[in-house]
Structure 1
Amino acid sequence: MKFWIKAFALFVSLSTIAPSSLAESEGKDYEAVKQNIENILRFEVLAIGDAPVPGLVQVSTNRGFFYTSVDGKFLISGKIFNVEEGMRDETEKSLAKLRLDGITDFNQSVIEFKAPDEKFVVNVFTDISCGYCRKLHREIEEYNANGITVRYLAFPRGGLSSKSYKDMVSVWCAKDQHDAMTTAKSGGSVAESSCANSVAQQYAFGQQVGVTGTPNIILPDGSMVPGYQPAHALLNTLKNI
């Protein structure tokens, strides 16, 4: 068996779909699958296409990344590993591409702490109330000194009704975002402010690509490092990707 499905987490039985409603071109029209997921589960389907395993479809939604049977009857949450390629994580490979594609939408709205002699750029999902996010930020000069540019994306862990969300909007809307970020992560208060911002969209994007906590570091190849890493450790990681 070429592929192994590991970490099988959930089967959700959906309504039966007649074969005639599926693809006429080798099963590659997934409209029926999309309709089932959106109409029954109320997930928003963002992308849908072939999975690396014959008989499965991979689906990116606003609630995460899933696989379905080609008839849309079953939803699978888990990972697919390629045994013949050294247990390559095929799910992570797909998610890495989604992360890199999606991050470009926020190029103008990240809060960037740029290295003077830039060698690497990482995107970090952060929450101003998170202890390890604060620890990472206290060492931002060390990251920069090692040639690592840090670009912050917002991920208020308590959701869009939390105080953290409101405070992060104020940071993103501050006249001096860098100063506001540093003040907030030092435990200080930031003047309440509002503006057109993408904090909610950044949070939603994080959920879509597997972010569940903070800090969460997206590397230049799209892979993800959950949790804090000191500058020297992150530099070693970056040199070896």
Structure 2
Amino acid sequence: MQATKFLPALLAFAALTCSFGASAQDAEIRKSLEQRIPQLGKVDEVVATPMKGLYEVRVGTDVFYTDAKGNYLIQGELIDTKARRNLTEDRINKLTAMDFSALPVKDAFTIVRGNGKRKLAVFEDPNCGYCKRFEKDLQNVDNVTVYLFLYPILSPDSAEKSRNIWCAKDRVAAWHDLMVRDKTPEAASCDTGALQRNLAFGKKHKITGTPTVLFADGTRVPGAIGAEDIEKRFAELASAK
């Protein structure tokens, strides 16, 4: 009876001790890495991984791994072979996820095919070869609404072509003429504040390459993906509802 009486207090003390131990280890790892590798930047988070003795170190949306003392730093991917999952990829996808409903769609132009029920957003540079491949494949995806954000990051010519497309009478036609049919858009001029806002938005959310595809659940896919992969992702989203 006496032991039972003090059990809640013992459990609370044990939890406090574990918390203190974790905090002390967190602090030790942060101190070691920030002192020894200052170029790494400020460590935002330290968490234990499923692998005993290995800790995840998060700097912004970048993920590294270290031992309990911060003596070694690993840059790479952690794979759960039993579950057959890339834990690093899962973690980065979660860190880089965006609120699709909060996208500044006023700074994009809209392409609708079929009933337009399925939605995605894409950041693209008009001089990006991978974007052209992506656009040609995207022609095979029906019943979709695409919010196209012009994102001229590759060259000054990218900014010029983006301006001509944004200022065209028919933006969708001008875009497809360039990306699918290799037809250079005619010179045009108008207010291009949207393009500058796109660049600022992309910098804030660390969109560093094109194309970058965003799905309605907030996940992003960097790089060109084929129609088959897009359909697979749409099917996963539909089954998750």
Deviation of 1:89 (Å): 1.0
Cα pair distance change 1:57/1:236, threshold 3 Å: closer
Cα pair distance change 1:225/1:101, threshold 3 Å: closer
- Quick one: higher RCO (CA 8 Å, sep 6+), 1 or 2? 1
Aligned equivalent of 1:40, options 19, 38, 41: 38
- For 1:225 and 1:70, locate their aligned partners in 2 and report how far apart those are by CA, in whole Å: 32
1:238 maps to which residue? 234
CA-based RMSD of the aligned residues comes to 4.3
Q: Is the 8 A contact 1:171 1:181 kept in 2?
A: no
- For 2:21 and 2:108, locate their aligned partners in 1 and report how far apart those are by CA, in whole Å: 41
- Aligned residue pairs total 206
1:149 maps to which residue? 145
- For 1:44 and 1:104, locate their aligned partners in 2 and report how far apart those are by CA, in whole Å: 30
Deviation of 1:111 (Å): 4.1
Q: TM-score, normalised by structure 2?
A: 0.60
Identical-residue share of aligned pairs (%): 18
Deviation of 1:134 (Å): 2.7
- For 1:51 and 1:102, locate their aligned partners in 2 and report how far apart those are by CA, in whole Å: 27
Q: CA offsets, 1:141-199, max 9 Å, x none? A: 653xx2222233455453xxx31563476379748793464466443255465425131
- For 1:118 and 1:31, locate their aligned partners in 2 and report how far apart those are by CA, in whole Å: 52
Structure 1, gaps ≥5 residues long: 1-22
Q: Is the 8 A contact 1:154 1:203 kept in 2?
A: no
Cα pair distance change 1:97/1:202, threshold 3 Å: same
Higher-helix-fraction structure? 2
Q: Is the 8 A contact 1:132 1:228 kept in 2?
A: no
- For 2:197 and 2:98, locate their aligned partners in 1 and report how far apart those are by CA, in whole Å: 20
Q: Is the 8 A contact 2:131 2:210 kept in 1?
A: yes
Cα pair distance change 1:110/1:189, threshold 3 Å: same
1:205 maps to which residue? 205
Q: Secondary structure at the match of 1:101?
A: coil
Q: TM-score, normalised by structure 1?
A: 0.60
Deviation of 1:103 (Å): 5.4
2:75 corresponds to which letter in structure 1? S
Structure 2, gaps ≥5 residues long: 1-18
Cα pair distance change 1:104/1:240, threshold 3 Å: closer
1:67 maps to which residue? 65
- For 1:44 and 1:178, locate their aligned partners in 2 and report how far apart those are by CA, in whole Å: 42
Q: CA offsets, 1:214-238, max 9 Å, x none? A: 33434455263732413x5632453
Higher-strand-fraction structure? 1
